[in-house]
């Protein structure tokens, strides 16, 4: 994930605090940033902030200790409360569902304009409304954007997003790692261990939530 030098030691919002979002928070804290987290469901207790998903040792935030503020909810009001919490950088790490499609559009960019928040999308392209993002960039409502995903994807030659102001686009590679296959098998091993101990499997798909 590309981060401009002027955005170090700032307030970072992590929209979607799952395994990926928690590692984003760890990196942010390591370079001196404060972190605000947003989740769909409330995480008001230390136990609720724990994450039982597989996490490589020394990475992520399995105990949920890194954010200085937690936000949650499923309404636009809940989302705007988070977006207006003084964020210099917003990192989107949500799954794509019917509820998150076009989650960030013109009203959200208007909220972000108060701080001219820099937006980084490492999740799925359709979570952000592309025409509204282009307008927000061209009008200077936000400082810039770094997109590892786009809508449409792959982005066609000549698409106006290529020429939008203050934008960096990468070809959906932020999840690539030489350790990817190793960690896939580590999840399997972790679940086999949990199964042998009579524990519930982790990293499961929730069909009701859509991810």
Q: Which of 113, 104, 156, 110 is nearest to 131 (CA)?
A: 104
153 is known as an active-site residue: yes
159 is known as an active-site residue: no
Question: Which position among 22, 43, 124, 143 bears the catalytic label?
Answer: 124
Question: Which position among 159, 172, 183, 194 bears the catalytic label?
Answer: 172
Question: Which position among 153, 159, 183, 194 bears the catalytic label?
Answer: 153
What are the residue numbers of the active site? 124, 153, 172
């Amino acid at each position: 994930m590309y981060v401009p030098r002027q955005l170090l030691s700032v307030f970072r919002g992590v929209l979607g605090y799952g395994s990926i979002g928690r590692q984003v928070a760890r990196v942010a804290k390591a370079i001196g940033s404060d972190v605000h987290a947003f989740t769909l469901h409330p995480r008001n207790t230390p136990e609720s902030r724990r994450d039982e998903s597989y996490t490589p040792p020394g990475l992520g935030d399995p105990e949920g200790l890194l954010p200085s503020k937690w936000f949650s909810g499923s309404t636009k009001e809940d989302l705007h409360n988070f977006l207006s919490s003084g964020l210099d950088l917003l990192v989107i790490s949500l799954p794509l569902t019917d509820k998150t499609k076009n989650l960030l559009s013109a009203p959200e960019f208007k909220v972000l304009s108060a701080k001219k928040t820099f937006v980084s999308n490492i999740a799925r392209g359709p979570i952000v409304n592309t025409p509204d993002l282009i307008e927000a960039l061209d009008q200077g409502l936000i400082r810039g954007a770094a997109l590892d995903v786009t809508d449409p994807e792959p982005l066609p030659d000549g698409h106006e997003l290529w020429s939008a102001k203050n934008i960096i686009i990468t070809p959906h590679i932020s999840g690539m790692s030489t350790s990817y296959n190793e960690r896939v098998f580590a999840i399997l091993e972790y679940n086999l261990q949990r199964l042998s101990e009579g524990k519930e499997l982790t990293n499961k798909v929730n069909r009701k939530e859509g991810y």
